[in-house]
Structure 1
């Protein structure tokens, strides 16, 4: 078991949230345009 697993999971979660927020912003821009 690696010791970095918790940090990697937290980083992955942050990346997924950032991507979801970016996609939502792009969708909102397309909807209002």
Structure 2
């Protein structure tokens, strides 16, 4: 049963990583736009 919790934790960590990457990409893009 513990492996289900581990898999769930990995899924949550991956989703958080993807969200952070998307937010960082948007921040960098807006920074590039304002830099022009």
What is the TM-score of this pair, normalised by structure 2?
A: 0.82
RMSD: 1.7
Structure number with the higher helix fraction is 2
What is the TM-score of this pair, normalised by structure 1?
A: 0.88
Is the aligned partner of 1:6 residue 2:12?
no
What residue ranges of structure 1 are gaps of 5+ in the alignment? none
What residue ranges of structure 2 are gaps of 5+ in the alignment? none
Of structures 1 and 2, the larger Rg is shown by: 2
